[in-house]
Amino acid sequence: MTTEALNKSDLIVKISEKNPHLAEPLVEDAIKIMIDHMIDALSNNQRIEIRGFGSFALHHRQPRVGRNPKTGEKVQVAAKAVPHFKPGKALRDAVNEQVAP
């Protein structure tokens, strides 16, 4: 099973090909604006929900003591917020239909 990544440029090309009435620079701008708004929302601790696709939220991790794997020395790891994606039912079902043998 080969896994090939779909990057932002590929996504822009695919959307442009499926919608020939939209110029590629316009599609690129739309995707950039959408991603920027998503980043802004998550940066402001807001949840993003796209029906049928999934939701994005922040998971907050507490500060902890970690270890340097090379030296074994204890290292303080700061608290942080990590983006988390939870797929929606429609997305899970669509993926499972494609992947199931």
pLDDT digits (tens, 9 = 90+) for 75-101: 999 999 999 999 999 999 999 988 766
pLDDT digits (tens, 9 = 90+) for 8-53: 999 999 999 999 999 999 999 999 999 999 999 999 999 999 999 9
Q: Find out whether 64 and 77 touch, Cβ atoms under 8 Å.
A: yes
Provide the angle, in degrees to the nearest 10, between the axes of the packed helices 8-18 and 24-43: 130
Mean pLDDT over residues 54-75, rounded?
Answer: 95
- 9-98 — its CATH code? 4.10.520.10
CA–CA dist 32, 47 (Å, integer): 19
Which residues does residue 60 pair with via DSSP β-bridges, in sequence order?
A: 81
Residue where the block lists tokens 């039912």: 89
